[in-house]
Structure formats: structure tokens, C-alpha cells
Structure 1
């Protein structure tokens, strides 16, 4: 069965239109039917989140399970709480970096890992069948409260070299994007004895200051403040704080792929090699850095649940996506913005170098992206297999050349195909992008 409600990260839609209280109620019943027992529920700071969280809690209770309401919390904090507590599963109400009118509901397994695609498919079957557990009047569940943010922050501090960071007394600017990081990242910096400047570090589901996604064009204020206060580093989060992007001491945005490569290289050097897992859409600079440091890269389909699953299977020492979503398996098999912040500070302290100097060691590539209409994804994939017999078909078709690579990938959620091209020169990247466009047009007859 093709999943229609569950996408690459749970169920998402416009709040109270596509993702309604009724649907949230049934999703609460679904998780309690599949994973009966204590279930932890958290939410981001969106305007619709309290409504949807309340409906999820009601669904869980009606199925006879108890729930722990942890309030506004980053997605990785909810996941870490589930991992270390007695909870049998978790639910996070969030649409991550999507626009403010959206919201989402995502399920978490007992080990803190997001539901796999297979588990999401099982959840969708249960949801559509409406064969839920239903408790008697005297067996309905109860709701407790707990502080997942405290548990999460303390878990992070236990797994970084806090003394080395504290000795440096870093000056840090943090932009929480009016999201859930407002309750955790400033506390992490405070506990690490950093001199801290905050931007948008109060929850506001309207996202009044900037768009939620922490890409370069949305964090210009952070870049300006880093320069103005002569900070050592700046960090920005998305709405649910599973991602972190960085600005160096000169106020320059450091690309997400470079940060992924930098941290992957660091983990290779600390572990004497090992496996790094990342999607096929990731920049070649990551593989270059990992291989040079004696490690190996395994490529997966796009999507953090897939990356986490393969990391667990291969006992990878590091992984992540080229969007600011870094995964530190010794802490949590999930994208983790708070741990990313702490680990980047640890790297700067241990290497005794500013971020701009560390980033210089990562090979530079030019990456271009575009998208085209594609209503026949099966036809496109069959055509790509004929055009590129030696391609990697893990997720779409990734074709590696001596001087770059090309990825053509049908979207899992929209009637489009995404085309990525990367090379050492901008000219070659443009040539590869045009090659991709030509092949897609030829296959689809457009």
C-alpha cells in the first residue's frame, strides 16, 4: 500500500484544514494501539500545537494508555526523553521548518528513533482501519507532566568536553527562531559558561522575526549581530530545533554541507575511522573529508529516519543530512540541533581554532539545484535506468563523474522531480545540471 498521509517525517498539513483535531485524536489512538503503555507527548511553539497536542493526549487516554505531557520541547529533546525514560513511545507535534500555517505529528519508538517508513506504513493501516484499542470507563489513561528539556540539556552536557568549552569563554550569538530551542540552547550555553547574546529566543508560533528554516537568506540578522558584537560563533535553529546552522566569527554563513563534512572528519579522527551515513543528496565534500581521514561513507535514501536506521544497522559513528541535521549516535539516533551546538563548540575548543579556519580544510564544491514537473515517476525512473546504467539508484539516480555528480530524484510528496548537480567549478556544475534537465525532458517527452 502506498502511504498517503505519512510522508518522510510523519503526518503534515495545514492546521485545522488538513491536519485537524479529529485526525490528531485518531493519531493518538493509533500510537496507543500500536505501542500501549506510557507515551510521552511534546510540541513545538506553533499556534495550533496546543490544540493538536490536546487531541493526541485524548486519543492516547481513550485507548487506555497513560501519557507524559512535556509541553514545548525540541524534537530531539522529546526523543531523548523517550530513550532514557520509561516511556514506550513518543509523539511530537511539529512541522519543523515549514511555514507557520502548517503543523505535523510524528511518532517515536521506545529507543528515541523516529518511526521507520515501514512502521509509518503500519501506523497508516491502523489509522485507516480505525481498529483502535478502546478502554472502558474505569480504564482510561491518565496524564502526567515532566521536564524533558532539563533531561535533554543534562544529557548533552554529559557527552561533551564541558571543561574545555568553559575555559574558552566563547562569545556566542544564538537565534532560536521563536521556536522550541528557546528553552534549551540558551540553557546549554549558560551551563557551558559562554558569553551569550540571544535573538528571537522566545516562543512565538507566528514566527514574526524570520522564516523558520535556518538557511542563509533567513539568518542575515544573526550574521550582522555576530559581526557587531565580535562573537566567536553564531547558531540558528528551526522551529523544532532538530537542525542547527552556523555563522563563523567573521559573520559569514558556513554551508550546511561543510559543517557536516567538518564534524564527520572530526569523528573519523577521534575514532580512528569508521562509517558515516548520509543521503545521496549530500555534497561530495563530505565523502572527500571522511575518506581522507580513513573512514567510509554509506549513502541512503533522503530522509533522517532512513539515515538513523542505517546508522543503527551499520554501527556508524556519525551521520546526518546536508541541511543542518547532524546525528550523534552516542547521544541519540536523530537530528539534534542542541547537541550540534555543543559539539561545534567542543571542536573549536579542542582544536583551538576559529570556525573559519576549521572550515578551510573542507574541499569546496559548487552545488546547483532545480526542479521540474513530473507526474509519471515510474516512467522517469525506468528511463533513468536506461540512460544511466551505472548510476546509484538508492533514491532516484545519482551519477558520479570524475569531476562531479548529478542526482535526479522524484519527490516523495509533490508531482515534481528534483535535480542536483555538483562540481569543483561552477561552469561544470551548470553543465551537469543542464545534462540532468535534458535527460528528464527526453524521458518524459517534455
Structure 2
């Protein structure tokens, strides 16, 4: 992470730490850094147009062309940047955060999010304010690209196959979370041949259907819809459609780590071997299932840009995160919710087993995720003091502190997107995982109370 950028761009509460002034200044930095046209899109948040216009003003003031894509999924912007002549992309989104938040993600000319040196370059321009002061006739133009969503949809259908779901295609409930998934995901699945029941498909930045994070608590009505229409599966997207989670035909919520294990194992099995890249926060079920299929797993720090970067370097077969963000390298090196939805739907259609039956073949673990409120400026000291309290022989410090014990593991790390310390714990049963998480969270909370 940089000083400005977290694990997935810049985020904050609108009117507090996410302001038009910040968007304007960041736009100037992006325009200076890009040295070419920048594709700009938004999710459906109410504050999106305001921040987009400030961002575009900054980009054009630096002499770069700003091309407006309108409302579009984050991976749709990334795909168009990669497949066309755009020098960079910028997406106004706060992903899964509540509606009072917004943010700005950046992608480089190959559609991937910047890491390390690239983040440092943008931040150096931003903080040094090393922007050009251009005369009126050197300001960059503003234009539109109306084909971003269609270009992206066509690519997914071409990859998976139009009308390829057989004579008895599955019925799928698609929950678009009132976000940009509604612009593309139901139509893509229909083109594949699925019977689609779309809910929360109207764009609305207040997220009236439910909060934009697809958790079990937020998806109660989605689960009811799956059961009501006797669907084969349900799919629920997050706020910018780069992630999705699944619901079985029996109405059971599928945690993201089990979807990751399912797809990764199938990919390796189809390829007879292969490397899967995932963060240290991922469940042990991923490694077990991949290794059982003949593959291997490499762990990274948390953050999809880091996972994608390592995948490119290592020519990995597949990768993804435990939150449902999966990366299909034959398509593009970024998390892609609609591609995930299409792939899993086809996998269900191609097999005699139901989604629930396929998931039953994955080793069983229970992953518990909790958090502790923590000011950003206190995170480093909290983590340092927590590390000093750890008494264990098997410790991984790739990202935060991951402690392995006979009964399971815990991970404590600073959030890259919110003022929180993240606490993960995993064990064979939920009771033990919850116990591990409770103890780790209590230790972190005690330190935060002293430091913050």
C-alpha cells in the first residue's frame, strides 16, 4: 500500500476524506502520469457524477484526454483499457463499502491495477503537485466511449460460449445489488442460455435492496428468491461487480473461499497441473483442493492487484481471493464478477452434480472474519505491538501476522480500504474458529484502546 492508495485504490467518506478537491488533484496526477487517453467510469453511487466530473477536470487539465464510459462494472473498464488504445483507466467506486463512501481506482494500460513502483509514481506526482500548468489550447479533450459495456459482455460470451448451457439450462437468480452489474450480468447469462431472474437490477446509489457487500446477512431476500423460483443457483454481486458470491439451489450461502476452491480445483484438474495464486487470508480448503487435483498454491499479501501481479510474473493458471474475487488470466488479469458468474453457471450446466454436491467434495473448514475499529494512523503501531504478543513457532508475516496452531490459524492485518484491523480465524469447525477469532480480536481491541 502507498500513503494514498490502499489495497484497492483510494477510498473515503464523501464530504470528509473523499472530496471533489481530492478527485481533482488525483485526476491531475493521473493525467500527468498516464501520458495518454484515460477511460473513466463510475459505479451507481449518488456521489459518482460529482467526483467523476472533478476527476475528469483534473485529467484534462494535465493535457490528457478523458473518455467517459458512464456507469460500468470495474472489470468492464479494465477490459476496454487492455483491449484498446487507452493509456490508463480510472473508476469512481467504493466497491462494497456503504453508500456514504466513494473512491477512485486506477488501472494501467494493460488493464491491471498499479502496484509498488506505479503507485509510488502516481503518489509522488500527487503529493509534489508536479502537474503541468497548461495554456487554454493545450488542455486535453473530453469524449465518450459508448461501447465499453457491450465490448466487455461480448468478450465474456465469446470466452464461455453463446447458448452453450445445453438442452436443460439452469435457472439463475441474479442479484445486481443496485450496482453496475445490472448493466451487463443478467444479459450475459441470458446469452449463454440460462433462465435468468434478475433482482435489484435498477441502478440506485443508496442501495435500497441491501447493503453492497454480499454477506449472508445482506442476502436474506436473495436466498428467499432462489427458493421461491426453485432456481438451480443464485448469484449476488458487490457494489462494482468485480466480485460475486453464490447461493445453492437449496438456499445455502456459499462463502467466497469455497467458490475459489471449486473453480481453482476444476481449472487444475482440466489442465492436469497448474499454479494457483491467492492471499494469505485464503482458506486452507483452497490449498487442499488444488493439491488434491495435482496443482500447487503460492501465497501473496492481501489485495487483488498483488495477486494479479504475481500471477503474471509466475504465469499462473488461476488466482483469486477468499472474498469471491476471482481472476481468469485467459480473459484478463483482474477480478471479474460477471466472468465468475458465467464460468460457474456453465460448470453447473456441464455437470450432473448440483452446485451443492460439487461443494461437498471440497475439504471442510470454517473461516471467521471480524474487525476492530482502528484509525489509519494507529495501524502500524497496533500491528507492531500485537506481533510482540504472539507466542508461536509457526508465524507468517507476508501480510500482517498469521499464526498457525494445531487447532487452526489466525491472521491479523490492517485493512487497506477502511479504518479497521482485520481479524481472520480458521479451524475445522465453526465453534473453534469463532473461539480463535474472539481471542485474537480481544487482543487487538486491547491494544487499539491503549494506542488510539
TM-score with structure 1 setting the length? 0.93
Between stretches 162-171 and 86-95, larger displacement belongs to 162-171
Match of residue 409 from structure 1 = 413
Q: State how far apart, in whole Å, the 2-side matches of 1:57 and 1:445 are.
A: 41
Residue in structure 2 matching 1:394, options 393, 398, 403? 398
Q: State how far apart, in whole Å, the 1-side matches of 2:445 and 2:128 are.
A: 40
- Paired residues of 1:233 and 1:247 also in contact (CA < 8 A): yes
Match of residue 424 from structure 1 = 428
SS for the counterpart of 2:395 is coil
- Paired residues of 1:400 and 1:406 also in contact (CA < 8 A): yes
Listed one character per residue, the Cα deviations across residues 238-297 of structure 1 (whole Å, up to 9, x for unaligned) are 111011011111122112111111011111111112111111111111111011001111
Cα drift, residue 200 of structure 1: 0.8
Q: State how far apart, in whole Å, the 2-side matches of 1:79 and 1:435 are.
A: 40
Q: State how far apart, in whole Å, the 2-side matches of 1:74 and 1:444 are.
A: 36
SS for the counterpart of 2:320 is strand
Q: Structure 1 200/371 Cα, relative in aligned 2: closer, same or farther at 3 Å?
A: closer
Match of residue 270 from structure 2 = 270
Between stretches 420-429 and 29-38, larger displacement belongs to 420-429
Q: State how far apart, in whole Å, the 2-side matches of 1:311 and 1:249 are.
A: 33
Q: 1:31-46, aligned counterparts within 5 Å?
A: 31-46=30-45
- Paired residues of 1:380 and 1:444 also in contact (CA < 8 A): no
SS for the counterpart of 1:395 is coil
Listed one character per residue, the Cα deviations across residues 121-160 of structure 1 (whole Å, up to 9, x for unaligned) are 3212211111113332212211221121001001111111
Q: State how far apart, in whole Å, the 1-side matches of 2:445 and 2:59 are.
A: 48
Q: Which runs of 5+ in 1 are unaligned?
A: none
Between stretches 197-206 and 2-11, larger displacement belongs to 2-11
Match of residue 77 from structure 2 = 78
SS for the counterpart of 1:173 is strand
Listed one character per residue, the Cα deviations across residues 357-392 of structure 1 (whole Å, up to 9, x for unaligned) are 1111111112234445774235326516x7334311
Q: State how far apart, in whole Å, the 2-side matches of 1:171 and 1:22 are.
A: 46
SS for the counterpart of 2:137 is coil
TM-score with structure 2 setting the length? 0.92
Cα drift, residue 225 of structure 1: 1.0
Q: Structure 1 412/179 Cα, relative in aligned 2: closer, same or farther at 3 Å?
A: closer
- Paired residues of 2:300 and 2:398 also in contact (CA < 8 A): yes
Match of residue 205 from structure 1 = 205
Cα drift, residue 208 of structure 1: 1.1
> RMSD value over aligned CA atoms?
2.2
Q: State how far apart, in whole Å, the 1-side matches of 2:408 and 2:239 are.
A: 33
Match of residue 113 from structure 2 = 114
Q: 1:245-264, aligned counterparts within 5 Å?
A: 245-264=245-264
Between stretches 338-347 and 13-22, larger displacement belongs to 13-22
Q: Structure 1 427/338 Cα, relative in aligned 2: closer, same or farther at 3 Å?
A: closer
Q: State how far apart, in whole Å, the 2-side matches of 1:198 and 1:414 are.
A: 30
Q: State how far apart, in whole Å, the 2-side matches of 1:181 and 1:353 are.
A: 27
Between stretches 228-237 and 365-374, larger displacement belongs to 365-374
Q: State how far apart, in whole Å, the 1-side matches of 2:188 and 2:373 are.
A: 44
- Paired residues of 2:382 and 2:447 also in contact (CA < 8 A): no
Q: Which runs of 5+ in 2 are unaligned?
A: none
Q: State how far apart, in whole Å, the 1-side matches of 2:292 and 2:112 are.
A: 30
Cα drift, residue 435 of structure 1: 5.7
Cα drift, residue 309 of structure 1: 1.1
- Paired residues of 1:179 and 1:202 also in contact (CA < 8 A): yes
Cα drift, residue 415 of structure 1: 6.4
Q: State how far apart, in whole Å, the 2-side matches of 1:289 and 1:372 are.
A: 31
Cα drift, residue 356 of structure 1: 1.0
Between stretches 346-355 and 246-255, larger displacement belongs to 346-355
Confirm or deny that 1:379 pairs with 2:390. no
Cα drift, residue 202 of structure 1: 1.0
- Paired residues of 2:394 and 2:405 also in contact (CA < 8 A): no
Q: State how far apart, in whole Å, the 2-side matches of 1:295 and 1:12 are.
A: 36
Q: Structure 1 399/162 Cα, relative in aligned 2: closer, same or farther at 3 Å?
A: farther
- Paired residues of 1:116 and 1:305 also in contact (CA < 8 A): yes
Cα drift, residue 434 of structure 1: 5.6
Listed one character per residue, the Cα deviations across residues 409-433 of structure 1 (whole Å, up to 9, x for unaligned) are 2444666543322111334334534
Between stretches 222-231 and 434-443, larger displacement belongs to 434-443
Match of residue 160 from structure 1 = 160
Q: Structure 1 179/438 Cα, relative in aligned 2: closer, same or farther at 3 Å?
A: closer
Q: State how far apart, in whole Å, the 2-side matches of 1:403 and 1:361 are.
A: 22
Confirm or deny that 1:52 pairs with 2:51. yes
Cα drift, residue 190 of structure 1: 2.1
Listed one character per residue, the Cα deviations across residues 2-49 of structure 1 (whole Å, up to 9, x for unaligned) are 844322211111223321112111111111111111111111111111
SS for the counterpart of 1:319 is strand
Q: Structure 1 190/364 Cα, relative in aligned 2: closer, same or farther at 3 Å?
A: same
- Paired residues of 2:10 and 2:417 also in contact (CA < 8 A): no
Listed one character per residue, the Cα deviations across residues 280-317 of structure 1 (whole Å, up to 9, x for unaligned) are 11111111101100111111111111111111111111
Match of residue 24 from structure 1 = 23
SS for the counterpart of 1:6 is coil
SS for the counterpart of 2:182 is helix
- Paired residues of 2:383 and 2:414 also in contact (CA < 8 A): no
SS for the counterpart of 2:327 is strand
